[in-house]
Structure 1
Amino acid sequence: MLTKTRLAAAIATITAGLTAGQVLAEEFALEEIVVTATKRETTIQEMPMSIQAMSGEKMKNQGIDNLDQLAASVPSFQVGDGALTTNISMRGMGSQPERGFEQSVGMFIDGIYMPRSRQYRAPFMDANRVEILRGPQAVLFGLNSTAGAVSVVSNTTRPGDETELNLTLKHEFEYEGTTVEGVYGVSPTDRLGLRLAGKYRKDEKGAFKNDFTGDDENAPQELVLRGTAVFEPSDATTLTFKVDYADFEFDGDLGETGGDDSLLDWRRDMDATGAAEISAGSEVGIDKPGLQQESLNIGLTFERDFGGHTLTAIAGYSDLEWDAMFDIDGTSLAIMTGGVHEEYQQRSLEVRWTSPEGQALDWIVGAYYQDSELDNAQPNILGAWALGVQANLPAVFLDAEMGSETEATSVFAIGTWNASDVLSVTGGLRWVDTEIDYHRGDNACTDMIGGLQETIDAVPDAFFCFNGRGYKDRRSSDNLMPELALQWDATEALMVYGKVSKSAKSGGYGFSTVLASDADGNLLAEYDDEKATGVEFGLKYQAATFELNATLYRTEFDDLQVNSFDIDTGAGSIQNAAEVVTQGLELDGRLAVTDWLTLTGSLAYLDAEFKSFDEAPAPFDGSLPPAPSGNPAAANATGMETPYAPEWAGSLGADVNLPLGDSLELVAGLYLSFSDSYLTDSTLARAFEQDAYEKVDARIGIEGGGGQWSVALIGNNLTNEEIINNSVNFAGPISYLKSPRTVALQGTYRFGL
């Protein structure tokens, strides 16, 4: 086990090595990573904020296909699938497993906001880089980004670029998976650049064994296609059009049941096919447990230079649809089977006016508009029909339909006053107005006796029945989000900064099946805006072969949006936790030891806890004290750590590019990520605690022809660690795991070089 003492010793050794390496290797230079988190091209070392980035080439070399895998190298950032949502957390803060929530960690793909958690599933293909912004984002990425933001930037072929044709083949041995990825970029005229990219993946075996059916489950199959056109009608004007389509699916249940006393005894013994066929007849378009997801994203970017000032307009359209069917009783008998069907459409437009850079005052002003529709259904079945018994026995069918229409408008401005050659002050403000229309369908519990479906009006509030039929409501809110940063270039190599920002995430309405009601029986579906105020101080040191960044931060959350569910205690409420504080220290750095060896490292200390939350949902294992009110379904979580908040986490990496002659090069890498224990259940049940772990990834291969071709063996999670994404107590403990060990052979050929 990696102790804190051993970790501190390792960090001290690495720091000493980094310093020594700086003296010995002045003839080398680290490759700069250009980012656009400030809406201008700059480097990480020049930005007064906590940010990490990884290039698309490095992700491809390490076999990183999605954000879940990338998160292992970014301490205090977690991404992983659950039954109803994909869970995203930054510094111990994130949206709970509620389908109505937008994410507290906002995601932007090529400048377009993607608020739905399942959009985080999109695999990386032909990515230029991914930027991870930690802490509340107020002005430039201030759309519901109270915990942070993720920006994914795709590659493009610009007019005049050389023709590019790349083909990558990968075979995974553990699960017999095959991946084919191709890229073709061409500039047919000096005014037009075209790029086509495609990726197909299919695993023959699933990563998990169903002990009841004997089948291997969760074998993924995915297809991603993207087309990009860059047109420059004049030297001052650029139009970029992009369209991408993604299809993802797998068969089998999503979760694993745990043993009686711990989650170490993993098993998968669910057979929900029979009930799934019944439930699927209503909303979900699949006839057995599994998941299917389709998405279409279209973007059009207009840029024009007006004598140094730049006008930018980004129009976006996003269409997401996904269906899931899963066993929710955690046994081999399909007594309770659930499904989700979601459709989401969004249209957005952002316009920015940017001043020339390098003036006494640099500034950006802009406006944003978005409208969207979200429709969600959750068909479930409970009773004898789920057992395949078509007799005159009671059964309940739930078809919970709900939806919302959202309209958001905002304006923003940010400016940097370059007071001197070494001192600058940045201040900005964003105003956001959000209006939401919410509705619930008329379908409720249905008696399926003898195949007849008759609405049961006598039990509208039964536990598995849908309450609030026909409920409609409307809410609006507006928020001001300021930001202020001070940057001092102490030396040519050292920059020191301080930053304070206030962000907000709009409130809304719950999409959960079980909701609280007031004393008169009125549905309590609404939750308030979430607000975060963050303060951070940092330093960034950069020399030719050595970089070191350090950030000390504290963020206070008011009215944190939470949703918890537990069948044993009856907890299933959507509410706002009064006060949460997350604070800590983050370190990351790079060192070019020689011209063929580069070391990377990151470390995070995190303290995130509920400062005031004495009416939290009670966990099934009784690990929280009772609520002061005496409510048996509530508990006092004041002073408890938040989910996904390991006290210590970090990563170490080594990349090798060693020449083996005139035309061959050894390419290799070793990557270690580690984490303290943390909670994985929204009710804070200790039974769902993830133990501390170390995860090892590695690669080794040969590259030739000046980068024209490469062959590498890539291993991820080589020690086969069982790492939990999310947990829930539903007729037994169920958890959702990250990918087990994979070993793949990957080959790339670049034609025409």
Structure 2
Amino acid sequence: MRGRWTIPLWMTLLVAGTAATATVQDDLDALLGDAQRPSAPQEPTAAEDETPAAQARDEADAQTTGVIPLPREPAPTGDVPARASRSRLVEEIVVTAQKREENLQDVPISVQAFSGEKLDAMGITDQTDLQRITPGLNITSQVSYVVTFLRGVGTDAVTAADPSVATYIDGIYFPFASNLAQNFGAVERIEVLKGPQGTLFGRNATGGAFSIHTKKPTFDDAFGELLLSADTYTRMARLYGNLPLSDSFAINASAVTSTFDNFYTGTRGNPPTGIPDDDTEGLRIKARWRPRDDLELQLAMFRLELHGAAANIAYNARPSTLGMLQGIQPQPGTHGAIDAPAYTQTDANTVYYGQLEYNAPWFDFKIIASDQRMDTAGIRDFDGSPQPISTFETPSQYIDARSLEVQFLSNDEFGPDWFKWILGGYYFEGVNGFEILNFIVNGISLEQGTLGPLALPEALRGLIGLAQAAPSGALSLTGLIGTDSRAVFAQTTTSVTDWLDVTLGGRYQVEERYIYDSSVGLDNGDGTRTELIDNTDRATDSNGDPYPASDTRSTFSPKVSIDLRPFNDDTLIYLSWQKALKAATYNTVAIYDQPDYVKPEEIVAWELGAKFSAFDGLLRLNGAVFDYDVANLQQAFISLFAGGVISFQNAGRARIRGADFDGVLVLLPSLVDDLVLAGGAAWLDAEYQDFTGAAGFDEAGFFSQDNDYSGNQVIRSPTFTGTLSLSKTWGVPGGPFEAAFDAYYTDDFFYEPSNRQATLQAAYWLLGARLSYLYEALDLRLTAGVRNLTDEFYTNGIFVTDYGVQPSIAMPRSYSLQLVWNF
């Protein structure tokens, strides 16, 4: 039955019981001093050179991390400096971008992967930080949501529509983006998969996917990690521990707590009060049981709580003409006032998940299941000013979802070694949206039936009048959308010759999207509600004609890839073509009109890429050119004249072309030890080719619904982005000392399809630096750093209404100190 869960997690698990030539190589050898290239350091004995915690972590790496650890250096003796340790930026990583473990350089997909050690070396602590090290990625956090665009594909609001860049944690699809910019905790590695991933990762991966892997429990030894950090605005503590209870059963836990001192100043509410700190607490517990060598069960629980106001604090920096007529004055900085008592609260972001893996003689079998619930509440000042005009209040916003995935994978024990395959099935069911959204409109005068010079729709005037006569002065809205999705997928890779592989894949999906609940009522101020309109069984299409309140689509997402190694195993060239789909949706929060149906987003993608490595990993360079044809992009807007809440519309067609690359190079190893350059760049040409009948605001801030944005730049798609990191490691008494400098640059981009100047983000640089010292005897690392070194002023997203533009201003310059102790 729709809306009821029918597959308990425990029952599911239980029942399952640059191409390179020889000449180029010679030239690079001469340039880098190949003859004098440093050899790998000698492997130390555990008793002499490693602490027990270090031994346990190395063993854990070998078993579970997917990172090939570099050998440790011998500890120094007396006053003799230690030989320079290898940089933490240089490593080989095993990824699961194709659902099986493979070396990053062997995967014919654009992937950037970072181990937990590398993320720490680059100063990355949460999801939004990934933008600084991933060319082509635009990721921000605003209004309690994480908004992600990758290579120009993304979703700028996610209250009803799903993100276009899917997030997976330990193989589990996380459908919600609200408050997802959490500290990663004890992370093993993060994979950023660029481009559509429709075959293996499925629904809503039209732009790509984040695949985050947390650390598995290990059976060898008990060990832990304590992290303490403080910067100008944030204080954080994280504790991770691994505890083996037998040689086949172990648990681990990662707990984090943080406090953010908001750099916004001023007042909120009436009577005015200050802006509180944000307090976050998170916990992840994992258990791992291996009763036999060929059978393993993992169970996990994750929970996050957040209380504060930062996500919903923003001031009206650029009042529209209508806003100025209402007496709103610009508040362009981080100091101001709003009349709404803004806050954000997540009390129950809880996920239970598990994986059962069986290595049969003929194939490997996996079953992965999850049960997810997230409840969020908050208040947002709709006009961003001290005037009591209008306010959003969301006492109950939630996502309730379950998923199940089954995989059959070929292994090395059965079948020809020239043929690899994966076959699987996927099920997802969920409901998400606003269970209660109170829209307070006491500041809107109805005497003339207009809002400034604009006439309000008659139906809206009537509802506002009823709301203003109600005790709370609020319309009480409900907008929930349901999903029922089933899919089967398969992918094969055939090695035609030693240098030619052909990959064929496809995913067949049947997905129903339906209006679970859509209604309009009055908030009685005592916790009760008087319903006025029930829209649950009503909807319209883009032309305003009646449309069913349930939409079922059967789709097929194919993939073809040709992989070449024409020179040697260190050079991979690939050409791929694929399709992917993002689910349709409904604008379920509809005040005076029926909910609108929003078509699914479809993408057809070509990509030509190359991966090259040399000198035992001292040089690695990966790049790709791509061409995307995107139909029915889902774009968001907010206006009183279209209901007053976030709505989605379809852009008919967009064309996105571009190129990106990333690489790591150990500079002049024959002259300088461990001087490493890492970075990359992305170029995008992203344009709306057909976007007529579009809703949006003009330069004066007036809203209309019959605009032509064809030829405009796709939102959040800067023409050029670049990242750079330079790191040097020295051997000093006690252990290695690191110094690092990094830079990120982005061209200007627009936040709205109209490309109006009021929502243009100008080009900017972000610079940072870090100093780090590891005292090996205690396995204790101390890092000092500075972020946004030049105190660049830029935005972290915007909130646009009829009253003007409310930018979320990004963090100014901050200084940090971090201690990490492994014990």
Q: TM-score higher than 0.5 here? A: yes
How far is the alpha carbon of 1:202 from its aligned partner?
1.4
CA separation in 2, counterparts of 1:49 and 1:476? Answer: 31
Aligned to 1:11: none
Contact 2:519 2:531 (8 Å CA) reproduced = no
3-state SS of paired residue (1:222): strand
Within the candidate set 168, 171, 192, 2:249 is matched to 192
User: Deviations 1:400-427 (Å, cap 9, x if unpaired)?
Assistant: 1121221110000000001111110011
TM-score by length of 2: 0.78
1:331 counterpart (385, 388, 393): 385
1:640-672 CA-partner distances (Å, limit 9, x unpaired)? 0011100010100022321113x2221222110
Match of 1:304 in 2: 358
Structure 1 CA distance for aligned equivalents of residues 372 and 97 of structure 2: 22
Within the candidate set 677, 700, 718, 2:748 is matched to: 677
- The counterpart of 1:133, out of the listed 186, 193, 197, is 193
Question: Percent identity at matched positions?
Answer: 22
Find the aligned partners of 1:295 and 1:343 in 2 and give their Cα distance.
9
Deviation of 1:716 (Å): 2.0
Deviation per residue, 1:235-259 (Å, 9 max, x gap) = 1101111111111222254323214
Check whether the contact 1:440–1:472 (CA below 8 A) recurs between aligned residues: no
**Aligned pair partner of 2:309 in 239, 242, 251:** 251
1:263 Cα deviation (Å)? 9.1
Retained in 2: the 8 A contact 1:178–1:201? yes
Task: Indicate if the aligned counterparts of 1:371 and 1:408 stay in contact, CA closer than 8 A.
Answer: yes
Normalised to the residue count of structure 1, the TM-score between the two structures is 0.85
State whether structure 2 residue 656 is matched by structure 1 residue 582.
Answer: yes
Q: Kindly provide the CA deviation profile for residues 681-734 of structure 1, in whole angstroms up to 9, marking residues without a partner as x.
A: 355332110010000122112111257001111222222223323223321211
Matched residue type, 1:685: R
The runs of 5 or more residues in structure 2 that have no matched partner are 1-26, 41-89, 321-328, 446-466, 534-543
Unpaired runs of 5+ residues, structure 1, are 1-15, 277-287, 458-467, 518-522, 625-630
Contact 1:199 1:225 in 2 (8 A): yes
* Aligned-partner Cα distance in 2 for 1:723–1:667: 29
Task: Tell me the CA shift for residue 260 of structure 1.
Answer: 6.0
Q: Confirm or deny that 1:425 pairs with 2:502.
A: yes
- CA distance, structure 1, for counterparts of residue 619 and residue 36 of structure 2: 9
Aligned positions of 1:415-454 closer than 5 A:
415-445=492-522
8 Å CA contact 2:339–2:385 kept in 1: the answer is no
The counterpart of 1:552, out of the listed 615, 625, 629, is 625
1:472 shift after superposition: 8.4
Picking from 634, 637, 642, the partner of 1:564 is 637
Residues 397 and 339 of structure 1, relative CA distance in 2, 3 Å threshold: same
Specify the alignment match of 1:369 in structure 2.
427
Distance 2:811 2:343 in 1: 19
Q: Which amino acid aligns with 1:239?
A: L
- The 5 Å alignment of 1:14-413 reads 20-21=31-32, 23=34, 26-27=37-38, 30-83=90-143, 85-118=145-178, 120-159=180-219, 161-172=220-231, 174-175=232-233, 177-203=234-260, 205-210=261-266, 217=275, 219-252=277-310, 253-259=312-318, 265-273=332-340, 276=341, 288-292=342-346, 294-307=348-361, 309-340=363-394, 341-357=396-412, 359-376=417-434, 377-383=436-442, 396-413=473-490
Does the C-alpha gap of structure 1 residues 239 and 412 become closer, same or farther in structure 2, counting only changes over 3 Å? same
- The code of the aligned residue for 1:224 comes to G
Determine helix, strand or coil for the equivalent of 2:280.
strand
Deviation at 1:487, TM superposition (A): 0.5
- Contact kept in structure 2, 1:167 and 1:748, CA below 8 Å: yes
1:150–1:455 distance in 2 versus 1, CA, 3 Å: closer
Q: 1:335 to 1:268 in 2, by over 3 A?
A: farther
Task: Note if 1:477 corresponds to 2:566.
Answer: no
The SS at the match of 1:419 is: strand
Equivalent residue for 2:766, pick from 682, 686, 695: 695
Given that 1:552 and 1:586 are in contact with CA atoms closer than 8 Å, whether structure 2 keeps it comes out as: yes
Offset at residue 453 of structure 1 (A)? 8.4
- Please tell me the residue identity of whatever aligns with 2:659: L
- Alpha-carbon contact 2:724-2:743 (below 8 Å) kept: yes
Q: CA deviation at 1:740?
A: 2.7
Could you say what secondary structure the match of 1:59 adopts? helix
Counterpart of 2:780?
Answer: 709
Q: 1:463 is matched with which residue?
A: none
Where do 1:503-652 residues align within 5 Å? 503-513=580-590, 523-543=594-614, 544=616, 545-566=618-639, 573-593=647-667, 594=669, 595-621=673-699, 632-652=704-724
CA apart distance, 1:597: 2.2
CA shift digits 1:299-354 (9 cap, x unpaired)? 11111111151011111111111112111112112321112331111111111110
RMSD: 3.1
2:627–2:655: 8 Å Cα contact kept in structure 1?
Answer: yes
Q: Give, in whole Å, the separation in 2 of the partners of 1:269 and 1:152.
A: 38
Asked whether the 8 Å contact 2:477–2:591 carries over to 1, the reply is no
Measure, in 2, the Cα distance between the counterparts of 1:72 and 1:18. 31
Relative to 1, partners in 2 of residues 1:419 and 1:201: Cα closer, same or farther, differing over 3 Å?
same
Secondary structure in structure 1 of the residue aligned to 2:336? coil
Deviation at 1:447, TM superposition (A): 8.7
Verify: 1:747 aligned to 2:813, yes or no: no
Q: Who is 1:462 aligned against? A: none
Structure-1 separation of matches of 2:579 and 2:811: 36
Deviation for aligned residue 1:41? 1.1
SS in structure 2 at match of 1:68: helix
C-alpha displacement at 1:221, in angstroms? 1.2
2:581 & 2:95 partners in 1: Cα distance? 24
8 Å Cα contact 1:62/1:698 also seen in 2: no
Shift of 1:121: 2.3
CA contact (8 A) 2:441 2:468 kept: no
CA distance 1:70–1:577, shift in 2 (3 Å): same
In structure 2, distance between residues paired with 1:736 and 1:384: 24
Distance 2:468 2:718 in 1: 51
Structure 2 residue aligned with 1:280: none
Q: Relative to structure 1, is the Cα distance of residues 189 and 540 closer, same or farther in structure 2, using a 3 angstrom cutoff?
A: same
Q: Distance in 1 between matches of 2:527 and 2:213?
A: 52
Q: 1:235 to 1:378 in 2, by over 3 A?
A: same
Q: Secondary structure at the match of 2:128?
A: helix
Aligned residue for 2:455?
Answer: none
Matched, 1:656 2:710: no
Equivalent residues, number: 690
Q: 1:569 to 1:310 in 2, by over 3 A?
A: closer
SS in 2 for 1:33: strand
